[in-house]
Amino acid sequence: MIVEQSERRLSTMVNFRDVGGLRTERGRQIRPGRLFRGDSVQDITSAEVDTLIDKLGIRYIIDLRTGEEAIQQGRGPLGDQPVNYLNIPLVDVAGPIGPPGRVLLDHYLDHLERDPNLPVAIEAVANAVRLPTLVHCAAGKDRTGVTMLLVELLVGVTEEDAKSDFLATAENMSEIVTRLRRWRRYADNMAKLTEEIYRCEENSIDGLLKELKDRYGTAEQWALEKGVPTDMIGQLRVRLLMD
């Protein structure tokens, strides 16, 4: 079970949501109002700023866009707000790295195995979520999706709920693509990249979950092997889970 998207408060950030309510294997839930995920904030309205800062109380923003991307596209009106901002650039897709049908899966596996900043992003979330935190990239689908999947699995969220949260983006893909086309950087990418990049499909997340288990056993073992300290994993659980 995931929080219904009917409670979305934003119109510009079409892939924004609270991950509160996701269930763990031990019957606990992620605390509502503590961890949010979304697409880019670069053109949100003043009303959306009020919602994020005043109503939801967001105090940390973790931006997973590349450094060049973050500078070029900017932070929008949130750049003038009293909110902590951290850019942790995860590798963006520059072209197909696998055969048709595996493009997204191979991209996700590349993050898992070779992106040095993915463990850093996990630690950043653990440090930030003592207060309401937003994690975002451009579409909120791939870089944000992999990061949030690992965070959710690390705190014990069921595979079913973690997968459902990942796939909730599929409902928003048409609006996401329309939004991205407004900016030259992403419009140019759409012209040269395979259309598969702009999907959110079950086979990709199923493949990622399978490879994670086959290669590492658990998300926690992945994190430990990648250098995420045990106490950071503990902080995630303490700060995100309801009693």
Mean pLDDT, the chain, rounded, equals 93
Per the domain annotation, does 4 fall within a domain? no
Query: Could you tell me which of 72, 166, 48 has the C-alpha nearest to residue 63?
Result: 72
Q: What is the CATH number of the domain that holds 234?
A: 3.90.190.10
Per the domain annotation, does 148 fall within a domain? yes
Is residue 27 within 8 Å of residue 98, measured between CB atoms?
no
Global pTM exceeds 0.85: yes
Q: What is the pLDDT of residues 50-83, one digit of tens each?
A: 999 999 999 999 999 999 999 999 999 999 999 9
CA gap 144, 63 in Å, rounded? 9
Instruction: Render 22-46 in DSSP notation, one character per residue.
Output: PBBTTS-BBPTTSEEEES--TT--H
Range of the domain at 131: 14-240
Q: What is the pLDDT of residues 147-197, one digit of tens each?
A: 999 999 999 999 999 999 999 999 999 999 999 999 999 999 999 899 999
Name the domain count of the chain.
1
CA gap 54, 157 in Å, rounded? 29
